[in-house]
């Protein structure tokens, strides 16, 4: 496969853009080689600058659940953009999206739109601190909640991918207020809350971890967090940037029947355009300015074009059978990959919730960050390149999720499994 144009572009970009990319994981650092520059997407396919076609399981890191350039989403974006792209005033669209979100996620009684998942988590934590009048927070090792200072502690995603220590530039005084616990470790979090509960404003968690690879919660983990937080006056924040409207119409909170105080959203809610949102209990959300004293603002927040893409996406996802279809296809892919690895006698631990998949090159089980890190990342790199050369694009990192869209067909999944069969054999 010739990727000359991507390579040339990457060489030039590195002179002007740090690392040649606008977000670290894209740089292929942990898998080696040169990032492929994409030119267009259609359905489940991406096309690069050299004209090569790839079956896409990255889906812009999650948002493109309806596939690329869905005709209805595209048309809605065009229609809205013709009337203007941003006014910095209230619009009809933002009310419509707020209605949709609060209906689909009943725990979200009030919602505020922002421009990214990072803004959502950062603002939700400020709010939790103001509401509880406490400074410290708890997050889980390997969970990633965007790149705000106090959240870059034992973080997943790019930080895990590049094997970085906690980021320089974060004052110790900020990081001191971030306590960490092990994902899925119920007695560990119980001990920590017992000891420090009075100082803790919130526990923030990815209800299905997706930034250390995909690690589903143990059945009791989320409900224990709910009970613990309630009894200690701590707010429970679900970071559903990845899982919201992805694992089901009501997100992970509906799936596991646990109601958080605050929810952070991003990715799917923007239908491929930049949006984030945070919301939750009305009494807490009413502390946000101008209703209350907690300041948070944004020039492009709730801009009609991104909001329209979100509305159209959520409407299309509400068509009966959509999530069932995603579930069936994702199951088929997960089972196919696991079987192909078994045949080749490659240790491979498959995880999946709905259309979010993880595959670790270890016997497993993978239940937390230390066990995720046992994965043979060199083997993952070989798997990644083997698949890429066969026209299948998985994330260029062991510690990111694979996603399916409604446009992935059974035939494409079959081809993916056949390609994986060849690649696993090569890895022996």
Query: Which are the catalytic amino acids?
Result: 144, 239, 267
Please state, in angstroms and rounded to a whole number, the distance separating the CA atoms of residues 316 and 242: 18
Nearer Cβ to ligand HOZ, position 115 or 229? 115
Q: Please, which residue, 35 or 280, has the CB nearer to ligand HOZ?
A: 35
Taking CB under 6 A as the rule, does residue 123 contact ligand HOZ?
no
The pair of structure tokens assigned to 191 is: 């001990």
Choose one: 18-26, 33-41, 42-50, 420-428; the region binding ligand HOZ (CB under 6 A).
18-26
Residue 121: which residues within 8 A CB-CB, separation 6 or more?
A: 145, 146, 148, 151, 204, 237, 239, 241, 264, 278
Bridge-based pairing of strands 45-48 and 53-56 is antiparallel
User: By CB under 6 A, how many residues form the interface with ligand HOZ?
Assistant: 7
Biggest CA–CA distance in the chain, Å, is 61
Euclidean distance between CA atoms 216 and 203, whole angstroms: 17
Question: How far apart are the C-alpha atoms of 207 and 209, rounded to whole Å?
Answer: 6
Are 320 and 401 spatial neighbours (Cβ–Cβ below 8 Å)? no
Residue with tokens 């490659």: 346
State residue 337 phi and psi, 5-degree precision: -65, -45
* CB of 99 vs ligand HOZ, minimal distance in Å: 28
Part in contact with ligand HOZ (CB under 6 A); list of ranges 22-30, 82-90, 189-197, 215-223: 22-30
Is residue 25 a contact residue for ligand HOZ (CB under 6 A)?
yes
> Which range binds ligand HOZ by CB under 6 A, 23-31, 167-175, 300-308, 371-379?
23-31
Instruction: Figure out which of the listed residues 141, 206, 312, 400 binds ligand HOZ, where binding follows CB under 6 A.
Output: 400
Contact region with ligand HOZ (CB under 6 A), list: 19-27, 297-305, 368-376, 379-387: 19-27
Window contacting ligand HOZ (CB under 6 A); options: 20-28, 35-43, 217-225, 268-276: 20-28
Give the tokens for residue 265: 């959203």
- Position 180 contacts ligand HOZ (CB under 6 A): no
Please identify, using beta-carbon distances, which residue of 158 and 336 lies nearer to ligand HOZ.
158
Identify the residue among 30, 80, 157, 303 touching ligand HOZ (CB under 6 A). 157
Mapped onto helix, strand or coil, the DSSP state of residue 154 is coil
Q: Are 322 and 343 in contact (CB under 8 A)?
A: no
Q: Residue of minimal CB distance from ligand HOZ?
A: 23
The answer to whether 154 contacts ligand HOZ (rule: CB under 6 A) is: no
Least distance to ligand HOZ from the beta carbon of 58, Å? 9
Q: How far apart are CA 101 and CA 108, in angstroms?
A: 7
| CA–CA distance, 153 with 349 (Å, rounded to integer) | 26
Residues 61-90 that bind ligand HOZ (CB under 6 A): 61
Q: Which is nearer to ligand HOZ, 211 or 313 (CB)?
A: 211
Nearer to ligand HOZ by Cβ, of 26 and 150: the residue is: 26
Tell the smallest beta-carbon distance from residue 269 to ligand HOZ (Å).
15
User: Which ranges of 34-169 does DSSP label H, i.e. alpha helix?
Assistant: 71-82, 92-104, 117-132, 158-161
Q: How many angstroms separate the CA atoms of 274 and 283, rounded?
A: 27
Using the rule CB under 6 A, is 211 a contact of ligand HOZ? yes
Nearest-angstrom CA–CA distance, 258 and 223: 6
- Taking CB under 6 A as the rule, does residue 262 contact ligand HOZ? no
Question: Is residue 26 involved in binding ligand HOZ (CB under 6 A)?
Answer: yes
Nearer to ligand HOZ, 10 or 61 (CB): 61
Q: What is the dihedral of CA 32, 33, 35, 39, to 10 degrees?
A: -150
Phi, psi of 87 (to 5 degrees): -120, -20
Question: Is 61 or 323 the residue whose CB approaches ligand HOZ more closely?
Answer: 61
Residue 64's DSSP bridge partners are: none
- Could you list the residues that contact ligand HOZ (CB under 6 A)? 23, 25-26, 61, 157, 211, 400
């Amino acid at each position: 496969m010739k990727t000359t144009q991507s390579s040339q572009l990457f060489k030039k970009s590195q002179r002007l853009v740090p690392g040649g990319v606008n977000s670290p994981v894209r740089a292929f650092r942990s898998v080696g080689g040169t990032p492929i520059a994409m030119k267009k997407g259609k359905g489940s396919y991406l096309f690069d600058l050299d004209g090569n076609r790839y079956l896409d399981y990255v889906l812009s890191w999650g948002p493109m659940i309806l596939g690329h350039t869905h005709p209805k989403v595209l048309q809605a974006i065009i229609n809205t953009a013709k009337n203007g792209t941003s006014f910095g005033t209230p619009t009809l669209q933002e009310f419509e999206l707020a209605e949709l979100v609060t209906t689909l996620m009943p725990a979200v009684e009030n919602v505020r739109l922002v421009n990214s998942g990072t803004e959502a988590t950062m603002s939700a934590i400020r709010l939790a601190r103001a509401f509880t009048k406490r400074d410290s927070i708890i997050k889980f090792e390997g969970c990633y909640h965007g790149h705000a200072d106090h959240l870059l502690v034992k973080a997943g995603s790019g930080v895990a991918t590049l094997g970085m220590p906690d980021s320089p530039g974060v004052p110790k005084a900020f990081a001191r207020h971030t306590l960490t616990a092990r994902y899925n470790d119920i007695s560990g979090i119980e001990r920590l809350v017992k000891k420090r509960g009075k100082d803790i404003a919130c526990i923030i968690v990815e209800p299905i971890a997706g930034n250390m690879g995909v690690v589903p919660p143990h059945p009791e983990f989320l409900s224990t967090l709910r009970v613990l937080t309630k009894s200690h006056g701590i707010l429970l924040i679900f970071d559903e940037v990845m899982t919201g409207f992805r694992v089901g119409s009501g997100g992970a909170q509906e799936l596991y029947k646990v109601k958080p105080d605050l929810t952070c959203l991003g990715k799917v809610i923007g239908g491929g355009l930049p949006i984030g949102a945070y919301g939750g209990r009305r009494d807490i959300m009413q502390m946000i300015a101008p209703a209350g004293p907690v300041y948070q603002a944004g020039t492009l927040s709730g801009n009609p074009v991104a909001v329209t893409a979100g509305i159209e996406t959520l409407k299309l996802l509400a068509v009966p059978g959509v999530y069932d279809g995603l579930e069936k296809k994702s199951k088929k892919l997960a089972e196919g990959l696991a079987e192909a690895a078994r045949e080749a006698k490659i240790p491979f631990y498959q995880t999946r919730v709905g259309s979010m998949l993880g595959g670790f090159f270890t016997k497993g089980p993978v239940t937390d960050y230390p066990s995720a890190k046992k994965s043979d990342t060199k083997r993952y790199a070989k798997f990644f390149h083997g698949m890429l050369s066969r026209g299948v694009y998985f994330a260029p990192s062991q510690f990111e999720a694979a996603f399916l869209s409604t446009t992935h067909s059974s035939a494409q999944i079959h081809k993916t499994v056949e390609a994986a069969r060849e690649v696993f054999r090569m890895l022996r």
